Structure 1
Amino acid sequence: MNWIGSAEMLKTSIFASQFMESAFCACRFKTVVVKKLVIVGISLIGFSAQAKVSDGGNTVPTALIFNGKLQSIESRMRDYDIPGVSIALIQNRQISWVANFGWKDIATQQEVTSDTLFQVASISKPVTAVAALKLVEEGKLNLNTPANEYLQSWQIPKNEHNAASPVLVKQLLNHTAGLTVSGFAGYEVGKPIPSITEVLEGASLFGRLLGQNNANSPSVEVAKTPGTDFAYSGGGYSVLQQLLVDKEHTDFTHLMQQKVLSPLGMQQSTFQQPIDNVRADFVATGYMENNKPVAGHYHVYPEQAAAGLWTTASDLAKFAIDIQNALHDDSGVVLSQASAKTMTSPTINQAVGLGVFLMGANIDGQGYFMHDGWNKGFSSTMLAHKSEGYGVIILTNANKPNFNKELVIGLMLEYGWLITS
């Protein structure tokens, strides 16, 4: 299903504090200098492939501190049984290097390259949030307006929870709408795919057997009073998807291409579900336990806003950098500085912004904005500092999010990021 482990823990800011505490504690183990080398390939221990690096002349670590011990990235991949990884490191609001390890597809022995497309699952949400905030800047949306005033093809059902307190647009962005359905399982390639309105309506098993609705998730509805609490909801972002489509009178794939992906030069990226034949050759195969490939190589997610983005590490780094640029000196391509600050400022609690989660001291522009993602056979991480201009993108074709967390901490230690967090 769509991974929400980190997000669920962020309900009370516990994950953010534990993550930072773990990284700080690990600092005491860094008593050796990690050797570096400008490289074009690293032999993988236990792998037949080689790490391919597009580094622009910058140095790339050959080993990092993992759990207090100096280890190579590829050895941890072997320990976790991860086929492929793509990493983009951000320094000074620029891509410093991109490193690619292992296999895009094990059976065909195709290696991960900088052009390999990964599903980034819930990292689709902050990208969608930027599109929504762009429409706010254009005067087409108001964050404090009830979502049903913009929805045309479907309406949030009224019940005892939202009769007096309608769901606002802002509440869709920061998971305070009280809406159900935390994540989605996706659909096998070649199987019937529901429309987004069918996803929102949900379907009973009986209904699916009769072919009335192909959705494999329950209906999206309000389960608690909007605005009172954080409750992670992919369903809420599916409502936002329909709202944006209704407002712009275009399909979601085109809308996201026009508002976010093309302006940022994210040329490889797309929200197409299923993905087109042109990009199919670049797609990584997702893997489950024991390197078992996902049937059909990956699942299809009509819940595009919640889980549908295909991207590369460098493309996603461009997205994070644009938010950093907007925050730094209002030089963002998509959002203004004011909108970027709104997005990366605490809302319901210190760990929740609009479309992103927050880590570290969120005072005077400090701290990180981040999001994780987990679709069937894929896990991903985006982490970027709000004021210091550094960050990292990690994309893998395996369901092993703990590897991502270890790698993030290792890179934090290697580059001294914790000093300014």
Structure 2
Amino acid sequence: MLAAMSTPPPRSSSQATAVTRDRGDACPGALRLHTADDGALARVRVPGGVLGVRQAEALAEASRRLGDGDLHLTSRGNVQLRGLAEGCGGELARSLDAAGLLPSAGHERVRNIVASPLSGLDGLGLRDVRPWLSALDTALCASGTARGLSGRFLFALDDGRGDVAALDADVTVRAAEDGGALLSLGTAAESLSVPGEDAARAALTAAETFLEAAREGGARVWRVTELPFQDGLPGRVRDRLAAVGVDSVSRPRTECGTSPAGAEGGPPPGTVGDALSVHAPFGRLTPLQWRELTALAAATPCRELRLTPWRGVVVPVPDLTEEQAADALARLSVTGLVTDPASPWLRVGACIGRPGCAKSLADVRADAAGSLAATGGAGLPLYWSGCERRCGHPRGERIDVVAVESGGYQLSRTTPGRSPRTAPMADTSRLAAVLGEITA
């Protein structure tokens, strides 16, 4: 989980960069594995991050039998299995299908949906978005057109608190105070107000309209922001919704509300409403950590875990007393999971680095962990990258720590709309000093 930060104003389409891809989408999935230096990698989509106990157990067993044993969380609340043995794809697919994790083989890479993890659990959202989540996933898997979406296309279902609305999704649906929903596409200047009961249908219609517009324009793109004419999409979506009897009202994006202070950044560790929240350093969950979380979920009426886009896990525990919750958090803390909202781990992230990635120039996770004590004075999230690609880096203001070929790192203070402030760091022991130079 990254430190909370304010949400920058939406970019206009004039600030978006038009892109035409010269190759197909190679984003990995559960059926299309990616070859890495530490073995094959499978990315299992988990819409809304919601896993039943049986599904969580199936993922752990698949990783134990076929991979490195760990579960790796992504910035979209999905799960990656790493270190998979060659030729295990068929066995993995059968295991996932039996657990209900592959409802549609043709859609498995496009089920990218993030949802407010605490929705319905802490009383802060305007509505519980779980019905939206179920309806959108079902509709997505039933749409032949939606199979054309890239594995990078993202839906966000926000319960009104502004957490996942800040994640730069392609299609964002946010609960409104009047009981309706606000639909936004990329950074288009216009949003649509739709009835709450039609939110899922409107989200899918928006995605299908994006594909249609991209084909007509001859653009081979993966994300809404890559279209040079994205400001015209809301009007097209409104027309398509009207054709199927869904009323919508156009609204300027600036009138659609702002996030409450501190809403972005995800649930803090600890007891939050009727839930327990933990953070997994670097998004890596060991077999012991996963087993403890699954056992906790299995002992509750909900019997589920919610994976967050900030590499954390929320377990709904509506029936736990304060004392029981404290005991459960203590057990989870012993395993190495972060349960303290003041932990410096909440502002540190990293790509896989060496030895898992051939392109990485450093073991960034070891360097980040060894420098953890020096991160406190930064005041911003730090993201360590093994090369200039900066895979998995967060959005918004941050400190990028990028390995360079000459050895050491280059630090950059990245602030949207401003030129970055940079400084070299030959030795990680100088992290605190270099952070002082670029944040002063």
**Which interval holds the TM-score relative to the shorter structure?**
under 0.3
Structure-2-length-normalised TM-score: 0.26
Higher relative contact order (CA 8 A, sep 6+): 1
